[in-house]
Amino acid sequence: MSVANTSQLLLKNLSLLKATKPLFINLPADAFIDEYKREYPHAQLSFFNSHYGEYLAHQAKQHPCQFSHYYQANEIHDLIIIAFPKSKAELGYTLAMLNEVTDQNTIIYFVGEKNSGVKSVEKLAKNYLHGCQKDDAARHCLLFSGCYKAQAKPFDVDEWFVQYPLDIKGKTIQIYALPGVFSQERLDVGTKLLLEYLPDYTGKKVLDFGCGAGVIGAYIASSYPSSTLALADVSALALASAKQTFAANQLKGKFIATDSMSNITDLFDAVISNPPFHQGLKTHYQATERFLSEIAKHIKVKGSLTIVANSFLKYQPIIASKFISVEQAVKANGFTVYHAIR
Ligand SMILES: C[S@@+](CC[C@H](N)C(=O)[O-])C[C@H]1O[C@@H](n2cnc3c(N)ncnc32)[C@H](O)[C@@H]1O
């Protein structure tokens, strides 16, 4: 099994990480955890992962892991190791949610690839940590630690949603998004193009795959009140945002946590997506390629798949191999909308 570079750095520093009740936030279920359990057999380990795929990997190893948009527990952790989040906006949120599970003795570690932004953790975390310092560097990764500063106010997740109105084709939808969720502040150019070329969803059962804050699903649900919407995403923060967007617009939907196709079981009349794209992470391609290869099985005969993607991505042949027809509905600003019939 491969061991993440960040886990190798943690392994190198295992002797520093002794604790009674450690909490591991968004760490992979790899050899670092196995080694930790061997080295500290009496420690009571807790896990939190907001990525559904990582959560499943912890479950497979019987780790007590929470998959949610924020961590909740009735105990104090003396050590918390956090994988530096992909978005800096998520850093403050992750630290704020720890207010109720820390005390003045809790040590927080941050581990991340050098190019992840972890270098600026001392500055970014200054309201939450004191004595923040760099402990080690190896395998292109950095390790920082500091002591948690108790926050004056209890954590309230509702205060962390960014809210903005979206005007699409004469319709106004209120969007709610937690830190780091796609489309957190404005409509994405690709999503905008996709929404301009929607098929007729009257009475259709529709899946919005990779729903983010629920922009696409909410627009369809409010434009076609007779449609039924399912929204799927790998991120607990995205799913919580999409739920909030639906509630605020008095819309109904079903929300599915899935890693690519792992939890997609239903049959739909139509699937729509602005799928995960390349962000320097190979897994984003893999998730989308698996989605494109397997989604046809979940679409009724004569049903449709409509997606938007960067024009340079070679998705058309993958779609064409599984669908009766696929056309480029529009190409603009570097994006292409593909419309396929099963
Ligand atoms: C380009 S964003 C689109 C978000 C939203 N539909 C929009 O248009 O604003 C892609 C979404 O795919 C989700 N995603 C990434 N990897 C995934 C995976 N393996 N399985 C399911 N969803 C994934 C991300 O969390 C993100 O919300």
**CA–centroid distance, residue 301 to ligand 1 (Å):** 25
Residue 246 in tokens: 């639906």
Q: Do the domains 161-341 and 5-157 match in fold? A: yes
- Cβ of residue 54 lying under 6 Å from some atom of ligand 1: no
**CA–centroid distance, residue 235 to ligand 1 (Å):** 8
For the chain, the structural domain boundaries read: 5-157, 161-341
- Cβ of residue 245 lying under 6 Å from some atom of ligand 1: no
Paired strand residues for 206 = 229, 270
- Cβ of residue 179 lying under 6 Å from some atom of ligand 1: no
Stated length of the chain: 342
Report which ligand 1 atom has the smallest distance to the Cα of 291.
20
pLDDT of residue 232: 98
5-157: CATH, from 3.40.50.720, 3.40.1010.20, 3.40.50.150, 3.90.1640.20:
3.40.50.150
d(CA 42, CA 280) in angstroms, rounded, equals 38
Report which ligand 1 atom has the smallest distance to the Cα of 188.
9
- Cβ of residue 295 lying under 6 Å from some atom of ligand 1: no
Helix axes 215-223, 236-248, angle to 10 degrees: 30
pLDDT of residue 155: 97
Its CATH class, for the domain covering 161-341, is alpha beta
pLDDT of residue 284: 64
pLDDT of residue 279: 53
- Cβ of residue 216 lying under 6 Å from some atom of ligand 1: yes
pLDDT of residue 314: 87
Interacting residues of 127 by C-beta distance below 8 A, sequence separation 6+: 92, 149
255-to-133, 234, 301 alpha-carbon distances in Å:
40, 11, 24
Neighbours of 162 (CB within 10 A): 15
**Residue spans of beta strands (DSSP E) within the chain:** 22-25, 46-48, 65-66, 79-83, 107-113, 129-138, 141-148, 162-168, 171-177, 205-209, 228-233, 254-257, 268-273, 299-310, 325-332, 335-341
- Cβ of residue 235 lying under 6 Å from some atom of ligand 1: yes
All residue ranges of the chain with pLDDT < 70 are 1, 278-284
**CA–centroid distance, residue 17 to ligand 1 (Å):** 34
- Cβ of residue 182 lying under 6 Å from some atom of ligand 1: yes
Give all strands of the β-sheet with 107-113 in edge-to-edge order. 65-66, 46-48, 22-25, 79-83, 107-113, 141-148, 129-138
Q: CB burial class (10 A; 0-12, 13-18, 19+) of residue 88?
A: middle
**CA–centroid distance, residue 101 to ligand 1 (Å):** 30
- Over residues 144-195, the pLDDT tens digits come to 999 999 999 999 999 999 999 999 888 999 999 999 998 777 889 999 999 9
